[in-house]
Amino acid sequence: MNKNEYIEAGQITKPIGLKGLMQLKLNTDFRRLYNRIDTLFVEVAGQPVPHFVLKITPKGNDMVLLELEDIESEADARQMINAKVYVTVDIMPVLGTLEFYHHEVMGFIVTDVDKGELGPVVEILDIPQQSVIAVGHKGKQVLIPLAGDILKGIDRAAKTITVDCPDGLIDLYLGNAAAEAPEDGEDDDK
């Protein structure tokens, strides 16, 4: 499988009922795209096998019920449990300059405008209000929210993300006492 042609959309978790319906856990990037997909590629022995989508029904935030052509029984669906499901790269809409797909920035190097290079993106947490990137920095995991003016740039060619972290955020994760609490007598309302 050529990883440049396919993107992992999710994983089949279990059969539903007796007629081949399956539950698919979607990766974050695909939650809003499931209704645009007409062909999925199910990984079988390391190779993408195309399946035409008959119906996709949302089930919660990150699950869908999936009905594929030629999967007609519970036994057929059971053979698909834990199979990774892919889409072709061309189905993904082009994003703006400060937008990204979670899967594409894993491993990108994060640089703060003041502190310099922090480290690689190791995880992306998607919470309702915003995305948060987890960056490996000095043996710790630093969580950086991508709200407001924090995200400054993404360079896909160089595989870098530039951020402007609020004062004290990085020090908080590193355990620097000065960033954790104000000294006695200092005003907390700054």
Q: For residue 158, is it left (φ>0), alpha (ψ between -120 and 50) or beta?
A: alpha
pLDDT band at 8 (very low <50, low <70, confident <90, very high): confident
| CATH code that applies to domain 105-177 | 2.30.30.240
The structure tokens listed for 89 are 């790269």
Closest CA to 5 of 128, 76, 98, 91: 91
d(CA 154, CA 164): 13
- Domain residue spans in the chain? 6-90, 105-177
Collect contacts of 51-58 with beta carbons under 8 A, ≥24 apart: 56/24, 58/34
Residues 25-47: tens digit of each pLDDT: 988 666 666 677 889 999 988 88
Residues 75-124: tens digit of each pLDDT: 999 999 999 999 887 777 777 778 787 778 889 999 999 999 999 999 88
The structure tokens listed for 79 are 């053979």
* pTM of full prediction above 0.85: no
User: What is the residue whose two structure tokens read 């990984």?
Assistant: 43
Query: Per-residue b/e over 2-24, b at no fewer than 16 CB within 10 Å?
Result: eeeebbbbbbbeebbeeebbbbb
Q: Do the domains spanning 6-90 and 105-177 agree at the CATH topology level?
A: no
A 10 A CB-CB count for 188 gives 6
Answer yes or no: are the C-beta atoms of 12 and 19 closer than 8 Å. Answer: no
Mean pLDDT of the chain: 84
pLDDT for 183: 47
CATH architecture, domain 6-90: Beta Barrel (2.40)
Q: For residue 127, is it left (φ>0), alpha (ψ between -120 and 50) or beta?
A: beta
d(CA 45, CA 139): 37
d(CA 168, CA 156): 28
- For residue 4, is pLDDT > 80? no
